[in-house]
Amino acid sequence: MRRRGEDLDCRRTRLYGRPLEEFVERWGLRTRGVDMAVPAHLFTAPLPVVAAYLRSLFQAEGYVSAREASTLVGTST
């Protein structure tokens, strides 16, 4: 029998409390299901911020590549 967490390659940190309310609201972290949307301010955020946001959503290594006519967003496998 395996013990819980023995084969995990990630950790989850849970933070809570009133000091985080503004952060939670700004990033729309209480929204669930089909009501979820990318926060508007992310579209003009620096690329490292966008990459961090995407990694948190997909729980994978993500990348954002600025190109002349577009921005490519993806995850590595």
- pLDDT per residue over 34-64, tens digit each? 888 888 999 999 988 888 887 777 665 556 6
Q: How far apart are CA 74 and CA 8, in angstroms?
A: 23
This prediction has a pTM of 0.49
Residue 46: the pLDDT is: 93
Q: How far apart are CA 39 and CA 26, in angstroms?
A: 8
Residue 20: the pLDDT is: 87
Per residue in 9-21, pLDDT (tens digit) is 666 777 788 888 9
Confirm if 64 and 71 have CB atoms less than 8 A apart. Answer: yes
Residue 10: the pLDDT is: 66
Q: Which H or E element spans position 54?
A: helix 47-58
Q: How far apart are CA 32 and CA 41, in angstroms?
A: 19
Q: How far apart are CA 22 and CA 25, in angstroms?
A: 5
